[in-house]
Amino acid sequence: MRTNLRRALTTAMKNRDRAAITALRSALAAIDNAESVPAEHLPSSAASNEHVAGAAVGLGAAEVERRHLTEADVRSIVEKEAVDRVSAADEYERLGRADLAANLRAEAEVLDRQLHPES
Protein backbone atom coordinates (compact mmCIF):
# COMPACT_ATOMS: atom_id res chain seq x y z
CA MET A 1 0.00 0.00 0.00
CA ARG A 2 2.85 2.39 0.79
CA THR A 3 4.25 1.87 -2.70
CA ASN A 4 0.85 2.67 -4.20
CA LEU A 5 0.62 5.81 -2.08
CA ARG A 6 4.05 6.96 -3.28
CA ARG A 7 3.15 6.28 -6.91
CA ALA A 8 -0.11 8.16 -6.49
CA LEU A 9 1.79 11.06 -4.93
CA THR A 10 4.14 11.22 -7.92
CA THR A 11 1.16 11.23 -10.30
CA ALA A 12 -0.63 13.89 -8.22
CA MET A 13 2.46 16.08 -8.27
CA LYS A 14 2.76 15.75 -12.04
CA ASN A 15 -0.95 16.65 -12.38
CA ARG A 16 -0.66 19.44 -9.78
CA ASP A 17 -3.61 18.00 -7.87
CA ARG A 18 -3.40 19.90 -4.57
CA ALA A 19 -5.98 17.83 -2.70
CA ALA A 20 -4.29 14.56 -3.65
CA ILE A 21 -0.81 15.88 -2.85
CA THR A 22 -1.91 17.08 0.59
CA ALA A 23 -3.79 13.88 1.46
CA LEU A 24 -1.08 11.51 0.23
CA ARG A 25 1.78 13.39 1.90
CA SER A 26 -0.16 13.45 5.15
CA ALA A 27 -0.91 9.73 4.98
CA LEU A 28 2.72 8.87 4.23
CA ALA A 29 3.87 11.08 7.12
CA ALA A 30 1.40 9.37 9.46
CA ILE A 31 2.80 5.99 8.41
CA ASP A 32 6.38 7.20 8.99
CA ASN A 33 5.40 8.53 12.41
CA ALA A 34 3.81 5.21 13.34
CA GLU A 35 7.09 3.46 12.54
CA SER A 36 9.08 5.63 14.90
CA VAL A 37 10.22 4.22 18.21
CA PRO A 38 8.92 5.96 21.36
CA ALA A 39 11.60 7.98 23.18
CA GLU A 40 11.43 5.76 26.26
CA HIS A 41 12.62 2.83 24.12
CA LEU A 42 15.75 4.55 22.85
CA PRO A 43 19.02 2.98 23.98
CA SER A 44 20.86 4.74 26.75
CA SER A 45 24.45 5.42 25.90
CA ALA A 46 27.13 5.12 28.56
CA ALA A 47 29.09 8.00 27.06
CA SER A 48 27.43 11.36 26.72
CA ASN A 49 28.30 14.66 25.14
CA GLU A 50 29.41 17.36 27.56
CA HIS A 51 28.07 20.12 25.30
CA VAL A 52 24.57 18.81 24.63
CA ALA A 53 22.57 17.23 27.43
CA GLY A 54 21.31 13.76 26.57
CA ALA A 55 23.31 13.53 23.35
CA ALA A 56 24.95 10.21 22.53
CA VAL A 57 28.58 10.08 21.48
CA GLY A 58 29.89 8.01 18.63
CA LEU A 59 28.84 7.10 15.14
CA GLY A 60 25.44 5.38 15.24
CA ALA A 61 25.26 5.46 19.04
CA ALA A 62 21.66 6.61 19.08
CA GLU A 63 20.35 4.69 16.09
CA VAL A 64 17.44 2.36 16.65
CA GLU A 65 15.66 0.10 14.21
CA ARG A 66 12.25 1.46 13.29
CA ARG A 67 9.10 -0.53 14.01
CA HIS A 68 7.82 -2.73 11.20
CA LEU A 69 4.17 -2.15 10.30
CA THR A 70 2.03 -4.82 8.74
CA GLU A 71 -0.08 -4.12 5.68
CA ALA A 72 -3.12 -4.07 7.99
CA ASP A 73 -1.43 -1.43 10.17
CA VAL A 74 -0.73 0.77 7.17
CA ARG A 75 -4.28 0.33 5.90
CA SER A 76 -5.65 1.24 9.34
CA ILE A 77 -3.58 4.43 9.40
CA VAL A 78 -4.84 5.50 5.96
CA GLU A 79 -8.44 4.71 6.98
CA LYS A 80 -8.05 6.84 10.09
CA GLU A 81 -6.67 9.71 8.01
CA ALA A 82 -9.73 9.54 5.74
CA VAL A 83 -12.18 9.35 8.66
CA ASP A 84 -10.48 12.28 10.39
CA ARG A 85 -10.89 14.39 7.26
CA VAL A 86 -14.58 13.57 6.95
CA SER A 87 -15.26 14.43 10.59
CA ALA A 88 -13.31 17.68 10.27
CA ALA A 89 -15.27 18.50 7.10
CA ASP A 90 -18.54 17.92 8.99
CA GLU A 91 -17.37 20.34 11.67
CA TYR A 92 -16.38 22.96 9.09
CA GLU A 93 -19.78 22.68 7.45
CA ARG A 94 -21.44 23.11 10.83
CA LEU A 95 -19.42 26.30 11.26
CA GLY A 96 -20.41 27.57 7.81
CA ARG A 97 -17.08 26.97 6.06
CA ALA A 98 -18.23 24.92 3.08
CA ASP A 99 -15.06 25.81 1.15
CA LEU A 100 -12.76 24.17 3.71
CA ALA A 101 -15.15 21.25 4.09
CA ALA A 102 -15.04 20.64 0.33
CA ASN A 103 -11.23 20.56 0.40
CA LEU A 104 -11.20 17.99 3.20
CA ARG A 105 -13.83 15.86 1.50
CA ALA A 106 -11.74 15.87 -1.70
CA GLU A 107 -8.72 14.70 0.31
CA ALA A 108 -10.80 11.97 1.95
CA GLU A 109 -11.93 10.78 -1.49
CA VAL A 110 -8.29 10.50 -2.61
CA LEU A 111 -7.51 8.30 0.39
CA ASP A 112 -10.68 6.23 -0.14
CA ARG A 113 -9.57 5.57 -3.73
CA GLN A 114 -6.27 4.26 -2.36
CA LEU A 115 -8.11 2.03 0.08
CA HIS A 116 -10.55 0.73 -2.55
CA PRO A 117 -8.74 0.84 -5.91
CA GLU A 118 -11.26 -1.49 -7.59
CA SER A 119 -14.18 0.95 -7.23
pTM above 0.95, yes or no: no
Neighbours of 113 (CB within 10 A): 14
Cα angle 35, 39, 40 (rounded to 5 degrees) comes to: 120
Which residues are CB-neighbours of 55 under 8 A, at least 6 positions away?
Answer: 48, 49, 62
Phi, psi torsion values for 98, nearest 5 degrees = -65, -30
- Model confidence pLDDT, tens digit, residues 28-55: 999 999 998 876 655 555 445 556 666 6
